[in-house]
Structure 1
Amino acid sequence: MRHHPGEFMASSKKAPLIAAAVVGVLAIGGIKLATGGGSDETLETEGKTTASRSSEGCESVVIAASSEKAGLMGEIADQYNSAGRKVDGTCFEAVVTTVASGSAQTALAEGWDEKVHGAKPTVWSPAASTWVGMLKQDLMAADKPNILPEKSSSIVTSPLVLAMPKPMAEALGWPKKQLGWGDVHQLATNPAGWGSVGHPEWGKFTLGKTNPNISTSGLAATVGAFYASTGRASDLTAKDLTDKKVLKYVQDVESAVVHYGDTTLTFLSNLAKADRSGKGMTYVSAVAVEEKSVIDYNLGNPTGDPTTLKDARKPQVPLVAIYPKEGTLVSDSPYVVLDADWVSETQKKGAADIEEFMKTPASQKTFTDAGFRAHDGAAGKAIKDDSNLSAAKVKSVINAPSASVLNGVRSTWAEVRKPARVLMLMDVSGSMGDDSGHRGKSKLELAKEAAAGALDQFTAHDEVGLWAFTTGMAGGETDFYSELMPLSKLDQANSKKLTTTLNGLIPLSGTPLYAATRAAAATMKSECADGYICAVVVLTDGRNEDMSDNDLDSLLEDLGGGSSENALRVFSIAYGDGADLDTLKQISEASSAAAYDSRDASKINKVFIDVLSNF
C-alpha cells in the first residue's frame, strides 16, 4: 500500500531556495561535469590529471583539455616533460587535466573553483572554438575582465558525423548517395520508419544525441539541424530561431531521439552491448558523434581509452561515418593561453613552447594514429585505413554562428526537444542520515539540494514524479515505497511543490533497492507513451537489504528491452562510499541507460545535473 506523503516527511521543514549559483549556471547552459569517451565527455575522468608530474623544479603549465583528447595530450605532455626543453633558461612541466568543454566554460565564467574543477589552468583546450566564443559573451554579460587572447590556433580537428550501422546506411544509398539531416528528418517523420526503405524489421528511426548545453557533439548536431532547416551553411540568425518552419523541422528531428545525456559514450557502449547480443540494429539508428568515435567503436573500443584497446572486441556490425551533405561543424580543439590574473608571463612563454611541441610531426602523428585529423584537417593512417570513413578533407563545413545565436540555439532547443516522463526514486534509508563529510550536512541533505537544484534541466513540457523508498515503511514488511508526487507537468507551481517535497524527506530504515526499482519500472512502463523519453532515476547510498526481493537476475530480466524503441530506461546514481556501483551498473545497462558515480558525496550536485541532462 502507499502511505500519505506526510507520514514520511518532516512536517517542520520548508523548501529553501536552491543556491543561486546552481540556477545561474544552468541558465548559462554550459554545465558539463561528469562525463564520456570518444567525444567531449567521460563518465569518471572529470578533473583527472593525465600527465605525470615528473619535472621537479620546473614551472607548471596546467592544460585543461576536453576529455576526448586529454589522454593523448597527457602522453605528449610526458614526452615534453622528458625532453629537457627550456625557454629563457626556465624549464616547464606540462600537466594535462580532464575538464569537459561546457564545464570549463562555466567554471571560467564563474572564476574557477579549484575544489570542484582542480587546479586553475594556464591553457584551456575545449573541443571546439564555439565554447570560447560563448565564454567571451558570458564574461562580457557579467561585466568581468576578458581572460581570452585575441586569437588561438588548433591542436587537432575532428568533424561531427552521423554514425550509422552500415546496413542501415546502405539501405539509404550509402556510399554512392550523399546523406544528411534531410534523410534523418524524412525517416523521423515517416510513420513507417525503416519500413519506408524496405526494412520494417528495424522499426522506427531513432537518434542518439547528447545535450547541447553541455556536450560539443550535441551542440554541433543541434546547430547542424537548424542550418539544414534553413538550407544555408552560414549566417544562422536570431530570426531563424523564431521561424515556425525552422522550429517544426528541428522538432521533427528531435522527436526521433532515444534520450539525450552528457556523453556519447552512453550510446556507443550500449550499442556495442546490443551488437554483441545481435540487437544492435534495434537500439539506435544513428548517433551524432565526432569522427574519431566511429574509429574507436569499429575497433571495439568505444571509450577511446588506449589502455583498453588490448581488450577490444570488434562489433559484428560496424558504423559508417555520414558527413551531412548540408554541412557539418568541425571540432577544432583550440589551444587557448589564458590571460587571467593567475597566469604569469613566464607561464605564457612555457605554454607557447608546449603548443609548438604539440604541433611537431611526431606529436601530430600521435593524434592522427588515434583517429583525429591534424590541426590542418589532414587525415592520418587510422582514418585512411577505415573504409567506413572518408579520408578526404571535409568540404561542406558549416560556419559556426555567433555566440549570441549559439546561446539562442540552446534556449530554443529547450522548447523543441523531445519531452520526458521521469520518476525520481530517492533512497531514504537510515544511512542517508549519515554525515556526508561535506559542508557539515548529511548525505540526504546534500542529495535533496542537488535534486532540487537540477530541476531546471526540465521544462514545463516534462512530467516528473517522486517516490521515496526504504524498508518496513510504517511497519509493513512489503510496504517499501511511498509515492510523494505523481507524474505531473513541471510548471512553476509543480516545480515548487516538488522542491518542497524533496526538502521534507527524512532518513528511515533499510534499502529495498531491487523491489523499489522493479515497482518503479513497472509503473513507468505503464505510464510511458509515444513522443516521450521515459525513465526512472534511482539514487541510493547502499546495496539491496530486502531479503524478500533479493533476485537481481530477475530484475535485470524485467528491465530488459532497452534496445527497443520507446523503451524505459533506468539511470542510477551510486551515492556515497557505501553505494553498490557494480550492481547499479548492471541495472542501468540492462535498460540501455547509464550509471553515474557519486561515491564522493561532494560531487552530487554535478552528477545530478549530468543525469538529468539525459532528458
Structure 2
Amino acid sequence: MRDAPENAPRRDRSRLREEGRRRRRRVLWVAVAGGVAAVLAIGGAVTAAMLTTQGGTSAGPGASAEPEPIVFPSDEPAPTAGAEPCTTVRALSSFENAEMVQRLAEAYNAAPRDVEGACVEVVPTKDKSGIAAAEAAVGFTEQAEDERPALWIPDANSWLGVARDAGGSANVPEEGESIASSDIVLAMPEDLAAAIGWDDEPPTWTEVFATSEDASVWSDLDHPEWGEFKLGKTSPLVASSGEAAMLASYGSAAGSIADLSADDIADDEVTAEVKQHELATSHYMATPEHFLWHARQSEDKGGSAADFLSAVIVDEKSVWDYNRGITSRDGVTRIESDPPQEQLVPIYPTDGFYVADNPAVVLTGSWVDDEEAAAAADFVRFASTAEGQAIVRETGYRDLNGELDPGVADVGALTESPDGGLAFPAPSVVVAMHEAFDEVRKRANVLFLVDVSGSMGDKIATGETKLAAAKVAISKALDYFAEGDDVGLAAFSEVDANPLAPGVVSPVGDITETRDDFEAALGKLKPIEWTPLYEAVDTFATQQAEDWDPDRINAIVLLSDGRNETEAPSTSSAQMLATLDELHHSTPVLVFTLAYGADADVKTLQAISSATGAHFYDSTDPTEVDEVLGDLVTSF
C-alpha cells in the first residue's frame, strides 16, 4: 500500500475519537490529526465533461484556466414526423434519475422527429442500478428482444464498468455521454447538523466514520434523545450512493479519497479499518428512498427524523425531493405531501465527494438495430440541448455546466459551486470494491420466519402453491449470505394445543455450516391451519433479542400471507407492538416484513417493520416473491 499524502496521514483510531470528543464539546470542529484541508477543486462544480473520463478527478491546485461554459444549442425538431411505424427506443434509467429521464422523453416525444426516415417514440423504463448492470451484462435475456432497452442511463458511470466486467463488453460501451450530474453528499436533519457543527464546517470522511462509531456523540452534545449516531448507507451492490459510501470508506482508510486504488482495497490494514467502519451500520438498504421514507415516517408519527437516522449518504436530488415533501417507500411509487418540519442539510466532505454523472450509452447488443441506435443517439443529442438541459435543472440535477436551478438550490439547501467533486474511480477500483464488499460488510444474525397457515397451500398464477414459490425464493435468497452470517428458519401456524407449530426448524447458525439442514427443513414445511401472527412476532423477536450481538445486523425476515387468526386467545396487536418497542430501545431486532399475496395484512406488517426501524416489502402479487425477497436481503 502506498504511503498516505503528507496532509492526510493514517489516523490512530483512539486518538481520533478523543480529538473528536473534544471538538464536539466545543461544537466548532477543527481539523483532525493535524487537519485535512486539501483543495480538490478550483471554483465551481465539476462539469460533466470532466467526469466522462473514468477515473478522472476535479481540477486541482495549479490547474490552468477553467473551461469555458458550454453554450447549449437549441433543439431542432424535424419539420414533420417521419413515417410510421415509429422507431421505439426503450430508455432504461436508475430509480434515482427516472423522473428526469421521463420528463426528457415526454419533451422529446412531444416534437416531430425524423430519424432514418421514421418517427421516434422514447419509452422510459427504470430499475435499480445494480440489477440493471447485471441484466446488461447478460444482454437482458429475461426480456423479449423487442422489450430490451436500446439506451441505458444509469445515474453513475461506475455501473458501466461493473456490467462490462461481468461479461457485458459486447453489450455496453466503455464510456457514456453525461447528460446531468448530482453530487453524492452526507445529508443530515438540520438540527443535528447544527449541533455537531458540520453545517458550518464540513468534516472529512474520516471524521464522519469515526463519529458514526462513537456511541456518546449526541450525549456529549447534550442531546441524548437522539440516541447513537445512525449512519444510513445503501448497498454498494445496488445503488450508486452505496458505492460512493463504500469507496469513501476505503479512501478514508487508505489516506486519500481522490487517489484510491485497487491495491488499497486489497490491503489488509485498509480492509481491517473498513470492517470497523461497517460495524456502525445498523443495516443496508436498496435505495436512498428507503432511508428517507423512514425518516419522514418518524416525523409524521410525532417523532423526529433523528429517531431513524443521524445522517445518510445520498445524492443531492434526493435531498431536494425530501425537503419539498416527496418520498417513496419503494423507489417506484411517489408520495407527495407537505414539506417536512425537519429539513435535510447536505454536507460536502472536505476531502472529496463523488459525483453521479448520469451517462447515456447506446447499447451495442445484437437486439439494437441501426435504426434504434440512431434514434437513441438523437435522444441523447436532445438531452444536451438548451431545452433538454432546462429539464435537467428543473428536475433537480446540475446541468453540463454544473449549474442548478435557483429554486432547487434553495429548497435543497444545495451549495451552488462546491469544491471537491470527484469522478468515480476507474472500473478496476469499483469492481474490486464490489468483490471485497462481502468480506467487509457487517455480518447478519437473521431468522427467516414463515407463515405456514392453511392459505399458503393456495395456488398462484404460476400453478405453484404460495408455499412452494416462497420456498424457492428463500432458497435463492440464501445465496446472498456468506461465511460468518448466522441464519435460521422458523415457521408458524396454530393447530390443536400448539400455538406456534412447527416453531424453529433450523436453529440460527453459520450458514456455511447449516445450509443443508436449513434447506432440508425448508423443504419439509407444509400448510397447517391458523395464523398466529402477533404471537409469532412477539415470541421470535424476543428470542432473537436474547442472542443480540452489537457487531451484527440482528433481524427477522417475516413472510406472511394473511391476517392474525387464532383458535384460542393469544397475544394482541398492542402487546406485540409494545414488545417490539421495548426491544428497540435495548436489544433492537429489525423485523423486515414481506406481505405475500392479496390477503396479507399490509397495515399490520407495515406497523411491525416500522416499529423496529426495518422496511416493509410488498409481494401482494405472489409471482414476484423471488424479486422482492432478493431486494430485501440486500439489507444484510
TM-score (norm 1): 0.84
Is 1:279 aligned to 2:304, yes or no?
Answer: yes
Aligned pair partner of 2:513 in 493, 497, 504: 493
Q: What is the CA distance between 1:563 and its match in structure 2?
A: 7.4
Q: Distance in 1 between matches of 2:110 and 2:422?
A: 40
2:469 corresponds to which residue?
Answer: 446
2:281 corresponds to which residue?
Answer: 257
1:156-188 deviations in Å (ceiling 9; x for gaps): 211111111222222232333121312222213
Q: Distance in 1 between matches of 2:442 and 2:599?
A: 35
Map 1:217-296; keep pairs closer than 5 Å: 217-276=241-300, 277-296=302-321
1:469 corresponds to which residue?
Answer: 492
Q: Distance in 1 between matches of 2:108 and 2:610?
A: 40
Query: What secondary structure is seen at the aligned counterpart in 1 of 2:262?
Result: coil
Q: Distance in 2 between matches of 1:580 and 1:191?
A: 36
1:171 corresponds to which residue?
Answer: 195
1:432 corresponds to which residue?
Answer: 456
Q: Is the 8 A contact 2:91 2:124 kept in 1?
A: yes
Q: Is the 8 A contact 1:241 1:408 kept in 2?
A: yes
Q: Is the 8 A contact 2:323 2:412 kept in 1?
A: no
Q: Is the 8 A contact 1:562 1:569 kept in 2?
A: no
Q: What is the CA distance between 1:341 and its match in structure 2?
A: 0.7
1:521 corresponds to which residue?
Answer: 541
Q: Is the 8 A contact 1:283 1:564 kept in 2?
A: no
Residue range with higher mean Cα deviation, 523-532 or 555-564: 555-564
Q: Distance in 1 between matches of 2:145 and 2:305?
A: 36
Q: What is the CA distance between 1:61 and its match in structure 2?
A: 0.5
Aligned pair partner of 1:350 in 357, 362, 375: 375
Query: What secondary structure is seen at the aligned counterpart in 1 of 2:555?
Result: strand
Query: What secondary structure is seen at the aligned counterpart in 1 of 2:85?
Result: coil
Q: Distance in 1 between matches of 2:145 and 2:546?
A: 41
Q: Is the 8 A contact 1:122 1:347 kept in 2?
A: yes
Aligned pair partner of 2:599 in 578, 584, 589: 578
Opposite residue 231 of structure 1, the aligned amino acid is G
Q: What is the CA distance between 1:281 and its match in structure 2?
A: 2.2
Q: What is the CA distance between 1:424 and its match in structure 2?
A: 0.8
Is 1:160 aligned to 2:171, yes or no?
Answer: no
Q: Is the 8 A contact 1:155 1:359 kept in 2?
A: yes
Q: Distance in 1 between matches of 2:178 and 2:612?
A: 39
Is 1:459 aligned to 2:494, yes or no?
Answer: no
Q: Sort the Cα spacing of 1:479 and 1:550 in 2 relative to 1 into closer, same or farther, 3 A.
A: closer
2:566 corresponds to which residue?
Answer: 546
Q: Is the 8 A contact 1:298 1:318 kept in 2?
A: yes
Q: Distance in 2 between matches of 1:532 and 1:237?
A: 28
Q: What is the CA distance between 1:278 and its match in structure 2?
A: 2.7
Q: Sort the Cα spacing of 1:86 and 1:565 in 2 relative to 1 into closer, same or farther, 3 A.
A: farther
Q: What is the CA distance between 1:285 and its match in structure 2?
A: 1.1
Q: Sort the Cα spacing of 1:210 and 1:524 in 2 relative to 1 into closer, same or farther, 3 A.
A: same
1:589 corresponds to which residue?
Answer: 610
Q: Distance in 2 between matches of 1:265 and 1:62?
A: 24
Q: What is the CA distance between 1:556 and its match in structure 2?
A: 3.2
Opposite residue 460 of structure 1, the aligned amino acid is E
Q: Sort the Cα spacing of 1:223 and 1:244 in 2 relative to 1 into closer, same or farther, 3 A.
A: same
Q: Is the 8 A contact 1:233 1:399 kept in 2?
A: no
Aligned pair partner of 2:389 in 364, 370, 387: 364
Residue range with higher mean Cα deviation, 553-562 or 181-190: 553-562
Opposite residue 288 of structure 1, the aligned amino acid is I
Q: Sort the Cα spacing of 1:298 and 1:564 in 2 relative to 1 into closer, same or farther, 3 A.
A: farther
Residue range with higher mean Cα deviation, 331-340 or 593-602: 593-602
Query: What secondary structure is seen at the aligned counterpart in 1 of 2:460?
Result: strand
Is 1:512 aligned to 2:535, yes or no?
Answer: no
2:67 corresponds to which residue?
Answer: none
Q: Is the 8 A contact 2:160 2:173 kept in 1?
A: no
Opposite residue 517 of structure 1, the aligned amino acid is V
1:293-329 deviations in Å (ceiling 9; x for gaps): 11111122223999956x4222222211111222111
2:325 corresponds to which residue?
Answer: 300
Q: Distance in 2 between matches of 1:481 and 1:180?
A: 51
Query: What secondary structure is seen at the aligned counterpart in 1 of 2:198?
Result: coil
Q: Distance in 1 between matches of 2:333 and 2:472?
A: 37
Q: Distance in 2 between matches of 1:102 and 1:382?
A: 31
Opposite residue 605 of structure 2, the aligned amino acid is L
Q: Distance in 2 between matches of 1:386 and 1:71?
A: 18
1:410 corresponds to which residue?
Answer: 434
TM-score (norm 2): 0.81
Q: What is the CA distance between 1:565 and its match in structure 2?
A: 8.1
1:407-463 deviations in Å (ceiling 9; x for gaps): 22123222222222111101122222222322x432222211211111122222222
1:85-131 deviations in Å (ceiling 9; x for gaps): 21233100110011221111111222313459992001011111100
1:400 corresponds to which residue?
Answer: 424
Q: Distance in 2 between matches of 1:117 and 1:164?
A: 44
Q: Aligned-residue CA RMSD in angstroms?
A: 2.6
Opposite residue 253 of structure 2, the aligned amino acid is S
Q: Is the 8 A contact 2:233 2:242 kept in 1?
A: yes
1:40 corresponds to which residue?
Answer: none
Q: What is the CA distance between 1:562 and its match in structure 2?
A: 8.5
Q: What is the CA distance between 1:201 and its match in structure 2?
A: 3.7
Q: Distance in 1 between matches of 2:189 and 2:410?
A: 18
**Which runs of no fewer than 5 residues in structure 2 stay unpaired?**
1-82
Q: What is the CA distance between 1:535 and its match in structure 2?
A: 1.3
2:416 corresponds to which residue?
Answer: 391
Q: Distance in 2 between matches of 1:118 and 1:423?
A: 41
Q: Distance in 2 between matches of 1:469 and 1:565?
A: 26
Q: What is the CA distance between 1:540 and its match in structure 2?
A: 1.5
Q: What is the CA distance between 1:66 and its match in structure 2?
A: 0.7
Aligned pair partner of 2:148 in 116, 120, 124: 120
Aligned pair partner of 2:621 in 600, 606, 610: 600
1:488-536 deviations in Å (ceiling 9; x for gaps): 122x221222122212222222322222122222222222232222111
2:7 corresponds to which residue?
Answer: none
1:11-56 deviations in Å (ceiling 9; x for gaps): xxxxxxxxxxxxxxxxxxxxxxxxxxxxxxxxxxxxxxxxxxxx97
Q: Distance in 1 between matches of 2:405 and 2:353?
A: 20
